[in-house]
Each structure stands twice: as C-alpha cells, then as structure tokens.
Amino acid sequence: MRPSIRGASPSIRGASRVNLKMKPIIIPTIFVRKSETLEARLEQYEGIVDRVQLDVADEAFTSEPTLSTEKMVSWPTTLDRDVHLMTLEPADWLEVCAKEGIKTAIGQIENMSSQLEFVEEAKALGLKAGLAIDLETDLEELDWPVAKKADQLLVMMVRAGKEGQTLSQEGLKRVRLLRQKGFEKEICVDGGVNEKTIAVCVKAGADLLAVGSCLWQAEEVEKQYRRLKELAGQAQTG
C-alpha cells in the first residue's frame, strides 16, 4: 500500500525530483552516552564541518539512553547544532535548547502530545522547528498542515535510537512522497546513510544527510567526509 499523510490531498504519481534548490549537506550525528565521547566527537568535527546533529534519546526510545539533553546542548563548541529529541514530550526541552544557542530542534512525533504546539513553541523561542517520524510509525501520523509549517522534516531510515543499522527502502518512499506533496524545505534522512546509500537518498529528494558511524568510525574522518560530500553532489547533478 502506498504511504499517505494525514491531512494531505492525493499525491501526483511519478518519480520524485532531486532538490536542486540547495546543495546536499552532510551533517554528522553525535549519539553518545559519555561526556568524554561527546567532547571528543565535537573536537573531531570542528574544522571539518560547520554543523552537527546532537542525538538525544531517553528510555522511551532505547534501552541504552544517551547523555541528557542538558548535558548535550550545554557542551561548549564552535559548531552550529541541531538537536534531535528522541524523548518523551520533546517540547519540554525547547527552552533549554534556545538558551544554549541551538539552531534547530527536531522532535520525534511518537511521544509528542501536539505537533502544532511543538512547532509553534519552537518558533516563538527563535528556534527552527523540525518534526521527525520513526520508521515503524505510520506516515499518516504526521500532521500535514503542521508539517508544512516546519523548517525540517526528518525521516528515520532505521528504527530510532541505535547506530549502525541498515537503511530501509520504506524510508526512501517516504522522502519521495513528501517531495511529491510539495514540501520544499529541508528533508533529513537519518540512519544507514553511507557511501553505498547516499546517492539514492539524494535522488529520492533528501538534502540533509545525517551520518553517524560511517563517519566517526572512518580511519580518516575528514577524507571520509569529503568523499561523502562528493558522492552527494554527484547524485544531485547526475
């Protein structure tokens, strides 16, 4: 069955368009349980990228939760930071995100009482607002009228809360559908993005590519980053 979105009109069938309005961005994700690992990853990426995604997961999403939201967002760095809130009531953390200079707050919709309140509160605090949907969540749970107001939609390509999983084709279908529905702002794909899958993600319509273990486990992180950036650029223009 073709995935659909609550509140959306029927989609135009056909191949999705690569988003040519912005170059694909590789954004390293930081999913850690120890302060020393957080510090090391931030230092590792400073000088290579401008922007990272801090992944915060609580017991609602994983049996091995990350560092707390407060710890993750307050750690000093020169990098611009998005925060992916895989938590119970993500809106509860928006004020601390704004206080600590976070650029974009992305909340998982599964444990969110109101998608509209999350987006409106984030914007009222001067944050960009993102909505994230887990791979196992029906796409109809994404409130389309609210989603259109978001600055970013994050599509999980794996089950949220764990690194090193294999990218799902279902996630790619969702990205295509969101583009076909007319969403022209950032679509981030998160999970299973690597050298072998990055091109299909871009061709599906993703312009923000969240990369975890594929990057930080590389022998030469900067070289790997440049390689991924090159592959994404080739997919956009090819």
pLDDT in tens, the chain (238 residues): 446 666 664 443 344 456 556 789 999 999 999 999 999 999 999 999 999 999 999 988 888 899 999 999 999 999 999 999 999 999 999 999 999 999 999 999 999 999 999 999 999 999 999 999 999 999 999 999 999 999 999 999 987 655 556 788 999 999 999 999 999 999 999 999 999 999 999 999 999 999 999 999 999 999 999 999 999 999 988 7
pLDDT, position 114: 98
pLDDT, position 73: 98
Residue 169: strand, helix, or coil: helix
Residues in the chain: 238
pLDDT, position 63: 86
Per-residue DSSP letter, 68: -
Question: Please, are residues 31 and 212 in contact by the beta-carbon 8 Å criterion?
Answer: yes
Structural domains of the chain sorted by starting position, each given as residue range(s) with its CATH number in brackets: 25-237 (3.20.20.70)
Q: Give the sign of the dihedral formed by CA 17, CA 5, CA 26, CA 211.
A: negative
Q: How many whole angstroms separate alpha carbon 22 and alpha carbon 58?
A: 33
Question: Please, are residues 98 and 121 in contact by the beta-carbon 8 Å criterion?
Answer: no
Residue 125 corresponds to which amino acid? L
Q: What are phi and psi of 171, to 5 degrees?
A: -60, -40
pLDDT, position 131: 98
pLDDT, position 61: 81
Helices (H), 125-220: 144-147, 169-180, 198-204, 213-216
